[in-house]
C-alpha cells in the first residue's frame, strides 16, 4: 500500500497547463508530473458547483486521513466527529484581499506557499496515513509575484497565437473592441469577475490570462516541494481541480460566471505513483470521465498493484459516439451532456449549443444547426438522464 498526498484546487483551468497543451503558459513542474505518471485528458465535473465536486471526492478519505483547507465551506466528511481525531482536520483562513492590495514580491510569502509549508509540516510529523490539501486561492487571492510571468521574455520567445482561444465567433465582445489599452499584467490581488464588453481594451483578456498564469506558475514552482516529499516517503501524488476558470473563451473572465461551457467544467487530473511503479512510461486517458470517478481513482491509487487504467481499454479504439455520457448538473443550464464526441448544452433560455469534441476545445463552433440528428438524439434521451 502506498501513502497518498492529494492536492485539489478550485478554479483550476486546464488551459493554463502546458501538459494539457497550453500555448501561452509554461508549467514544467506539471509537465514532469504528467511525464512520470498518469494524466486524464477529459475529466468533466458532474456538478458546476466546485463544493459539490469536492464533497464527492472527499468520500474517498479514510477517517484517519489528514485534511487541511482554506475553504470556509469545506467539511471533512459526513462521518460523525467522534470518528475522527480533532487534529485530522485543519481549516486555515484565506484573507479576503482589498481592491487596492498588491501581489507579493516573494513567492514564499504568498498564501498558497505558506499553506503548503504548513501542510507538509504536519505530513512530516505524521507516522503514516494519507494527507489532503484543498485550496481556493485561485478563486480568492491572486497574490503570486508577477515576475513569475516575465512579460518581455514570454512575448519575445513565443507570441500567443491560439486563434481558437482568442475568438468566440463573429462579434466576440472581447476582441472587437477599440477601447483603451491596459497594462500587460495586473497587480491587484482580487480575482476578476468580468463580462467582456466592446468598451474593453483589446488587451484585457490577455492581461487577465497572464495574471492567472502567474498563479498557476506559483503552484508549478511549489509543486517541487510536494514531489520531493512524495519521493522521500514513497507516496503517490494526486493533483486535480474541482472546477475550471473562464479566461475569456465565451466572453467572460472569472470563476463560476458566464454560460455553462467547457472551460468551467473541464478538470485536470494527474496521478504520479512512487517511482513510476504503475507503468514503465507516461500514459494519458483520452475518453471523458465524470468527476464522480475521482474518488474511485484515489482509492485505487493506494495500491501499486492495481492499474488505474486497464491496458486493454487504453489500447482500444476509444469510446463510442454517445457513450460514456456524462451529465453536468447546473442551475444555469437546463441540460449539459458530454460524450466522447460531443458537448451539448441547452441553456436556461432554451438555446442549444453543440460542439465537436475533443477538436473544438474552446466551444468555438456551434454546429447544432448542422447536426439536427445529434440534437434529436439528445432530445430523445433528455427525460432519462439523471
DSSP letters spanning 290-323: EGGGHHHHHHHHT-TTS-SS-HHHHTS----SS-
21 and 91 in a single domain? The answer is yes
310 and 369 in a single domain? The answer is no
Longest dimension (CA), the chain: 61
360 and 301 in a single domain? The answer is no
What pLDDT, in 10s, does the model give residues 294-313? 999 999 887 766 667 776 66
Q: What is the pLDDT of residue 177?
A: 43
66 and 91 in a single domain? The answer is yes
What pLDDT, in 10s, does the model give residues 322-347? 999 999 999 999 999 999 999 999 99
Q: Is the pLDDT of residue 82 over 50?
A: no
Length of the chain: 386
Mean pLDDT of the region 94-109: 95
Of residues 374 and 88, more confidence is placed in 374
Q: Is the pLDDT of residue 156 over 60?
A: no
Count of structural domains, the chain: 2
- Reported as a pLDDT band with limits 50, 70 and 90, residue 210 is very high
Residues 154-166 as b/e (b if ≥16 CB within 10 A, e otherwise) read: beeeeeeeeeebb
DSSP letter for 203, please. Answer: T
Residue 154 forms part of a structural domain: no
Q: Is the pLDDT of residue 169 over 50?
A: no
Mean pLDDT of the region 246-274: 95
Distance CA 222, CA 239 (A): 13
309 and 331 in a single domain? The answer is no
What value does the mean pLDDT of the chain take? Answer: 87
54 Cα distance to chain centroid:
12
Around 258, how many Cα atoms within 13 Å sit in the side-chain half-sphere?
Answer: 23
Where in the sequence is the domain holding 372, given as residue range(s)?
326-384
258 and 124 in a single domain? The answer is yes
304 and 337 in a single domain? The answer is no
Grid coordinates standing for 88?
485530522
What whole-number percentage of the chain has pLDDT above 70?
83
88 Cα distance to chain centroid:
25
Residue 94 forms part of a structural domain: yes
Q: Is the pLDDT of residue 85 over 70?
A: no
Q: What is the pLDDT of residue 342?
A: 97
Q: What is the pLDDT of residue 162?
A: 55
258 and 374 in a single domain? The answer is no
Distance CA 167, CA 174 (A): 8
CATH number of domain containing 45: 3.40.720.10
Nearest Cα neighbor of 48 from 375, 284, 327 is 327
Q: What is the helix (H) or strand (E) element at residue 204, kind and residue range?
A: helix 204-232
What pLDDT, in 10s, does the model give residues 26-76? 999 999 999 989 999 999 999 999 999 999 999 998 877 899 999 999 977
Amino acid at each position: 500500500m502506498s501513502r497518498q498526498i492529494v492536492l485539489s484546487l478550485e478554479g483550476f483551468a486546464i488551459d493554463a497547463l502546458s501538459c494539457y497543451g497550453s500555448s501561452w503558459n509554461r508549467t514544467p513542474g506539471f509537465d514532469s508530473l504528467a511525464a512520470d505518471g498518469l494524466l486524464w485528458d477529459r475529466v468533466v465535473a458532474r456538478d458546476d458547483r466546485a463544493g459539490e465536486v469536492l464533497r464527492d471526492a472527499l468520500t474517498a478519505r479514510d477517517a484517519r486521513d489528514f485534511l487541511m483547507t482554506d475553504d470556509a465551506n469545506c467539511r471533512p466528511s459526513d462521518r460523525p466527529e467522534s470518528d475522527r481525531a480533532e487534529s485530522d482536520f485543519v481549516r486555515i483562513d484565506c484573507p479576503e484581499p482589498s481592491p487596492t492590495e498588491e501581489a507579493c514580491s516573494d513567492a514564499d510569502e504568498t498564501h498558497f506557499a505558506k499553506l503548503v509549508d504548513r501542510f507538509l509540516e504536519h505530513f512530516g510529523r505524521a507516522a503514516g496515513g494519507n494527507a489532503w490539501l484543498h485550496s481556493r486561492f485561485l478563486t480568492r487571492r491572486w497574490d503570486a509575484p508577477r515576475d513569475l510571468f516575465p512579460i518581455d521574455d514570454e512575448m519575445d520567445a513565443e507570441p500567443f497565437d491560439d486563434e481558437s482561444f482568442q475568438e468566440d465567433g463573429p462579434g466576440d465582445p472581447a476582441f472587437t473592441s477599440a477601447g483603451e489599452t491596459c497594462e500587460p499584467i495586473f497587480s491587484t490581488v482580487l480575482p476578476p469577475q468580468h463580462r467582456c464588453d466592446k468598451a474593453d481594451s483589446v488587451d484585457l483578456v490577455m492581461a487577465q490570462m497572464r495574471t492567472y498564469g502567474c498563479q498557476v506558475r506559483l503552484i508549478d514552482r511549489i509543486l517541487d516541494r510536494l514531489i520531493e516529499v512524495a519521493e522521500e516517503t514513497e507516496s503517490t501524488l494526486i493533483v486535480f481541480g474541482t472546477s475550471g476558470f473562464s479566461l475569456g473563451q465565451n466572453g467572460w473572465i472569472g470563476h463560476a460566471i458566464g454560460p455553462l461551457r467547457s472551460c468551467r467544467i473541464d478538470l485536470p487530473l494527474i496521478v504520479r505513483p512512487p517511482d513510476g511503479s504503475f507503468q514503465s512510461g507516461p500514459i494519458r486517458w483520452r475518453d471523458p470521465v465524470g468527476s464522480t470517478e475521482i474518488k474511485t481513482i484515489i482509492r485505487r491509487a493506494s495500491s501499486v498493484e492495481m492499474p488505474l487504467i486497464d491496458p486493454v481499454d487504453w489500447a482500444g479504439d476509444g469510446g463510442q459516439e454517445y457513450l460514456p455520457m456524462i451529465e453536468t448538473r447546473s442551475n444555469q443550464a437546463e441540460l449539459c451532456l458530454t460524450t466522447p464526441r460531443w458537448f451539448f448544452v441547452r441553456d436556461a433560455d432554451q438555446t442549444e449549443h453543440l460542439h465537436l469534441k475533443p477538436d473544438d476545445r474552446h466551444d468555438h463552433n456551434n454546429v447544432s444547426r448542422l447536426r439536427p440528428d445529434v440534437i434529436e438524439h439528445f432530445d430523445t434521451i433528455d427525460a432519462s438522464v439523471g
